Amino acid sequence: MHSASGIDRDVHSAPSSPPPSAVRKALLALSVGGFAIGTGEFVIMGLLPDAAADLGVSIPDAGHLVSIYALGVVIGAPLLAVLGARWPRRRLLIALMLFFGVGNLVSAIAPAMTSMMTARFITGLPHGTYFGVAALVAAGLVPREKRTQAVAMVLMGLTVATLIGVPAVAAIGQAFSWRIAFAIVGVIGGLTAFLVWRWVPFIPASRTASPLRELGALRRKQVLLTLGIGAIGSGGLFSIFSYVKPTMTELAGLPESMIPLILALFGVGMITGNLAGSRFADRALERTIFVVLIWGGCLMAAYSVTAGHPVLGPLTILLVGTMVALAAALQTRLMEVAGDAQTMAAALNHSAFNAANALGPWLGGLAIKAGYGWSSTGLVGAALALAGLGVHLWSRADQRKRRG
């Protein structure tokens, strides 16, 4: 539509440009799915004591419900991208959200830890593929120069979930039953499937689509390097976020009652970064990725100094949240470098960010256990941002070498 290149034919595969009102409705439907997934992924973190007591396990053991979901995301993204290669994208999105919704409803009634672990793993499977396919559909609804902003609108649901969805649903779960939280997320998943059916235009599957073609993404060096930027460079964001409560209460001396406000500040930072970063990325994609990694590294290094201050610490946390701008930019970069394996590459972006969600807290925990203190998560984050920047520079050098 907007370009004759093979990449853009796959991304912009709708037969004609829908009117602006239809585009807004479609993006809203896709964003509601992001809201459902974001709420479902993070709400358990605020309900672990309740879940542990009900399931008859310790709180650390209940924490495995978080890890098993992330494992489902990492495995499900490439698996379902391959299996759904020949599906029309709207149909695939509806199936993925129904899958996600049912998984949450099963989580709401799972009677024991084993069945709950199974339900959380299954529920995580469609996560990455949904975001990847939704990003491709969103990019195909708008002109090329606005595609990162369209991708950011899909991710907006995820960032709004951290600010509103997770606290609200967690509060309902604490007031009534932690299981109700998953039932609510399941209903939102069903609502998303309905909205996608009503508002997202039908886009036929590519005639040349195949599982083998999608697997070709794993043979593309630029795809792997782009995934590496996200998996490494974003790790610091999660390193700081995972230990924000003990850092603010024990190091900065803030009361526990302030933690929801600090988490809300982090959410505001994420929303701001997502919106602003996508605008910059549509103007200069590679420069935006470079600047976000430098910006994030400086902020996280500063956090190692400000973490003990009751005002500067929370303010730095707000600014660190803006580093989420990397997500939409890398999603667009994958569209650039994936060639004809768009679905697989787009889905793997969220596997990379879940890898960052595992890497950052693990390294942060090692630094804390080694005696470097709660503020050391900032130095870990700065090192990871610098390493991600190194991968980005490696990728750019490889691109120049290939052109030469």
Tens-place pLDDT, residues 326-353: 999 999 999 889 887 888 888 888 889 8
Residue type at 222? Q
Q: Per 3-state DSSP, what percentage of the chain is helix, strand, and coil (rounded to 5)? A: 85, 0, 15
Q: Is 16 exposed, middle or buried (0-12, 13-18, 19+ CB in 10 A)?
A: exposed
Q: What is the pLDDT at residue 1? A: 39
pLDDT < 70 positions in the chain: 1-17, 208-210
Reference 139, options 17, 44, 265, 292; nearest CA is: 17
Question: Is-contact 241 293, C-beta < 8 A?
Answer: no
Instruction: Report the pLDDT value the prediction gives residue 171, as an integer from 0 to 100.
Output: 86
Cβ-contact 120, 104 below 8 angstroms? no
Q: Tell me what pLDDT residue 16 has.
A: 57
Q: Compute the C-alpha angle 144/32/224, nearest 5°.
A: 50
With CA atoms as reference, report the closest residue to 73 among 30, 132, 123.
Answer: 123
Task: Look up residue 173 and give its two tokens.
Answer: 């779960």
Q: What are the residues whose beta carbons fall under 8 Å from the beta carbon of 393, sequence distance 6 or more? A: none
Number of C-alpha atoms within 13 angstroms, CB side, residue 327?
Answer: 32
Candidates 236, 320, 338, 332; CA nearest to 288 is: 332
Q: What is the pLDDT of residue 15?
A: 46
- The pLDDT assigned to 26 comes to 96
Phi-psi region of 328 (alpha: psi -120 to 50; beta: other; left: phi over 0): alpha
Amino acid identity of 163?
L
Single out the residue of 115, 398, 358 nearest to residue 239, CA to CA.
Answer: 358
Single out the residue of 232, 234, 227, 230 nearest to residue 320, CA to CA: 234
- Over its C-alpha atoms, the chain yields an Rg (Å, rounded) of 20
pTM for the full predicted model: 0.83
Q: Which domains does the chain have, with CATH numbers?
A: 1-209 (1.20.1250.20), 217-404 (1.20.1250.20)
**Residue that has been written with the tokens 């997320």 in this structure:** 185
Q: Buried (b) or exposed (e) across 22-50, using 16+ Cβ within 10 A?
A: ebebbbebbbbbbbbbbbbbbbbebbbeb
**205 CB-near residues (< 8 Å, 6+ apart):** 85, 86, 87, 88, 89
Backbone angles phi, psi at 75, to 5 degrees: -75, -40
Length of the chain: 404
